[in-house]
Amino acid sequence: MALETGLQSRTLLKRLKYALSEEGEGQKRLDSVTHLIADSMGTAVCSVYLLVDSSTLELCATEGLDPGSVHKTRLRIGEGLVGLVARDAKPINTDNAPSQPGFRFMPETREERYSSFLGVPIQRLGETLGVLVVQSRSARLFTDDEIYAVEVVAMVLAEMTELGAFVGGDENLKAPHQYSVLIRGGIAQDGAAVGSVLLHEPRVVVTNPFADDINKENKRLKEAIQQLKGDVDGMLNTALKGASDEHKKILEAYRMFANSKSWLKRMEDDIESGLSAEAAVEKEQSTFRTRMARVEDVYLRDRLHDLDDLSNRLLRVLTGQGRAKITDLPENPILVARNIGPGELLEYGRNLKGIVLEEGSVGSHATVIARAMAIPLIINASGITTEALNGDRILVDGDQGIVHLRPEENVDRAFGEKIAMQSKKLERYAELKNVPAITRDGVRIHLLMNAGLMTDLPSLKNSGAEGVGLFRTELQFLARNSIPKRGELAKIYNRVLSSAGDKKVVFRTLDIGSDKVLPYMRPTDEPNPAMGWRAIRLGLDKPGVMKMQLQAFIRAAIDRDVSIMFPMIAQFGEFKMARDNLMHVLAKEAELGHKLPSKVEIGAMLETPSLAFAPKQFFELTDFVSIGGNDLKQFFYAADRENERVRKRYDTLNVSFLNLIKQIVERCDETKTPLSFCGEDAGRPMEAVCLLAMGIRTLSMRPASIGAVKSLILRTDLKELREIINTALISGEQSIRPFVSDWLAKET
């Protein structure tokens, strides 16, 4: 029996609404659903398979198959026709199921009697929850109208599953979002945190997927679309001011989607089939989210992402459900998001105890901000935004890259003990903050902190740091929609210097490009952006921006000492050009009668192996050198720090890398050039003392690491450690780590 789109589909949904509204336990309700679908479709079989874990489908209800197989028949994703539907999130329609590739005979269900098979995914916002199947004895293909009707019903089942409509009546039927879930991700900022989930974009809950009045639902949809268009126009008109031509094209494409007639027509058709306005929006959103997962073309994925964002905005207009309010945060909030921009993250500020992102990278804007605020951050936590609900208890283990969502009691207790032990360590470290970092053999070490925000500066006192070895200036550029003015920057830099008092602050000039692209900068398509147009290369090619920032440094440091450092120097000529630019700005400021800093130190970050081989004149000309360990390591090993597959396989304590460090130390010693090491490894106690044993005397790290590093320094004899390292360097082993680990275990 063929179903006519529209009227017949609405009739089926009305019957479904009645069945779902009846009182009773979930299993009874689900059995009623399969019965009425089979009856309405004129098929011998209707079955519902639901995911019981990320890879297993279970037959949860059936009309027509052996009822004894319910909750006993299970399939892996990709196994049998049902498993293929779930894997590919695409319908399968065949008039001869046993002959189809992938067909699996399941004798307990006795389904071999049925030739025709139609399976459609039960999806919610691109997430597959199960599979809805109808089957007939006669060999026939289901019509397009019938497929559409079953897809509409599957969408409603997805919503009702999310709402827990099928819970109870059988221990196998449990409400979603009640299980304990462990999710693994990438480590972007270490640390541990316990708290409550704060969804950056809370999932919109569609409480009524049925259209009681089609005309009313169409009117609601059109009014919401008009409001959406107005919101988008207002947002884009502001954003278009001062935007590049390329940026304008992207924004106009976003506006075009908001005005798409085909998108509106598809949603109107869904309403005609019996869905409410918000259910229609979600149905189309699920469709293109599934498409988005399959698309490899970056441009098309971005456009589909735009449409996804517009759907979210439209759902919020229809339901009145909005984003998390900064003023209404739960206790100990841990932010969970698909991704987040630097401006939005800064709005939450230090209220957050942790961050978990479904996407992101170790060098993304969010990571830069999280590190600056010392907030544990896990990235690439697949599925977290669909698994988590606002208020869920969540444990973030940034040291292991693990998230425990709704943890079991024993896991919660063990994690609490870990946090308590860390707190005791921090208390011990706090007692050392005013103790000079002097090794057992009397070597004075200088420990500095990295910063990038005004809110970092209180850590100068609290952590025991002797100064700021790296102040990242790009954060003031990233967290806004237009380039900051010189006067604004001068005020910020002046406040930084004032907060630091008599302690040294080293400002790094703008380090953008690669993974840190300004929202108002024309995007560049580079095959390897980490090694492309970035940092000093961009600064020298954009002399106006560099000049403006250098003027801001000078005007901020009237009658004060100021240290300015140029990043990503690859050859002597680049440093000389950058230094000449600064000297020219100083001369011009003096010519204009402006007061100058009492002293200006000009340094370079050594982040490329090539600079270690620069001519002697470079080391003589520069006032100081800071090894940028993170980039130096990725370029030395040719291992992209954004690539999880390769970034962890290379060790800082590898003999080859330490030989490079040794050479840099010797070259700086030859010219008496002050040398420091800045980066993640400076904040790791074992790596830190090894760097010191190699001859480095100044380390710059995140404030939270200073206590642990100082604690080990106070217990370490660098002369003895250097002997251990020298032995290891000629041992033929790849890494000195085992040698140092054994020595530290005995000595400390």
**Looking at the domain assignment, is residue 285 inside a domain?**
yes
Q: Are residues 646 and 550 in the same domain?
A: yes
**Statement: residue 568 has pLDDT above 70:** yes
- Say if residue 549 is in the same domain as residue 403: no
For residue 365, give its domain range: 181-202+324-422
pLDDT at 107: 73
Average pLDDT over residues 374-395: 88
Tell me which of 57-61, 296-300, 358-362, 733-737 is least confident.
296-300
Could you give the CA distance from residue 131 to residue 89 in angstroms, rounded to a whole number?
9
Whether this prediction's pTM lies above 0.75 is answered by no
Distance CA 510, CA 389 (A): 39
pLDDT surpassing 50 at residue 3: no
Task: Count the alpha carbons within 13 Å of 584 in the hemisphere toward its beta carbon.
Answer: 11
Alpha-carbon distance 349 to 372, whole Å?
11
In this structure, what token pair is assigned to residue 341?
């921009």
- Considering the domain architecture, whether residues 138 and 197 belong to the same structural domain is answered as no
pLDDT given at position 326 = 61
Q: What is the pLDDT of residue 452?
A: 83
Contact 64, 156 (CB under 8 A): no
**Do residues 563 and 638 both lie within one domain?**
yes
Q: Which of 193-202, 356-365, 706-715 has the lowest mean pLDDT?
A: 356-365
Q: Are 341 and 456 within one domain?
A: no
Residue 313 within any structural domain of the chain = yes
pLDDT at 191: 85
Looking at per-residue confidence, does 297 or 637 come out higher? 637
Whether 223 and 195 share a structural domain: no
Summarize pLDDT for 308-348 with one digit per residue, the tens: 777 878 888 888 776 656 666 888 999 998 888 766 777 78
Q: Are 126 and 225 in the same domain?
A: no
On whether both 382 and 269 belong to a single domain, the answer is no
| pLDDT for 17 | 74
C-alpha–C-alpha distance, residues 591 and 371, integer Å: 40
Burial 146-168 (b: 16+ CB within 10 A, else e): bbbbbbbbbbbbbbbbbbebbbb
pLDDT on residue 445: 97
Note whether residue 452 is domain-resident.
Answer: yes
3-state SS record for 269-287: HHHHCCECHHHHHHHHHHH
- What number is the average pLDDT over the span 293-320? 70
The answer to whether residue 167 is domain-embedded is: no
d(CA 13, CA 18) in angstroms, rounded, equals 9
Asked if the structure places residue 207 within a domain, the reply is no
Both tokens assigned to 342: 């630097």
Rounded to an integer, the average pLDDT of 488-502 is: 93
CATH of the domain at 411: 3.50.30.10
Domain total in the chain: 4
Residue 228 domain-assigned (yes or no): yes
Confidence of residue 443 (pLDDT cuts 50, 70, 90): very high
pLDDT of 8 reads 57
User: In whole angstroms, what is the distance from residue 408 CA to residue 474 CA?
Assistant: 42
pLDDT band with cut points at 50, 70 and 90 for residue 2: very low
Cα–Cα–Cα angle for 280, 283, 284, rounded to 5 degrees: 90
Band (169; pLDDT cuts 50, 70, 90): very low
Pairing of strands 186-189, 377-379: antiparallel
**Among residues 279, 299, 319, which one ends one of the domains?**
319
CA distance 466 to 701: 11
- Residue 399 amino acid letter: D
User: What confidence score (pLDDT) does residue 164 get?
Assistant: 55
Q: Please indicate, yes or no, if residue 334 is contained in any of the structural domains.
A: yes
Together in a domain, 667 and 624: yes
Say yes or no: 94 and 193 in one domain: no
| pLDDT for 722 | 95
Alpha-carbon distance of 30 to 34, in angstroms, equals: 6
- Overall average pLDDT of the 87-101 stretch: 90
Q: Closest Cα partner for 512 from 501, 499, 524?
A: 524
Which pairing describes strands 354-357 and 333-337: parallel, antiparallel, or unpaired?
parallel
Instruction: State whether 485 and 407 are in the same domain.
Output: no
Residues 175-228 have pLDDT tens digits of 556 678 899 998 888 888 999 999 887 767 677 788 888 899 899 999 988 888
Asked which of 265, 287, 319 is the last residue of a domain, the reply is 319
Residue 565 has pLDDT above 90, yes or no: yes
Kindly state the tokens that stand for 101.
């590739």
Q: Is the pLDDT of residue 1 over 50?
A: no
pLDDT of residue 94: 94
**Mean pLDDT of all residues in the chain?**
84
**Residue 142's CATH number:** 3.30.450.40
Higher pLDDT, 153 or 509: 509
- CA nearest neighbour of 20 among 164, 216, 116, 228: 164
Is residue 424 within 8 A of residue 700, CB to CB? The reply is: no
Q: Are residues 376 and 259 in the same domain?
A: no
**If you average pLDDT over residues 422-451, what whole number do you get?**
91
Helix axis angle for 298-319 and 214-239, nearest 10°, is 120
pLDDT at 5: 46
Among residues 272, 289, 319, the one where a domain terminates is: 319
Structural domain contains residue 338: yes
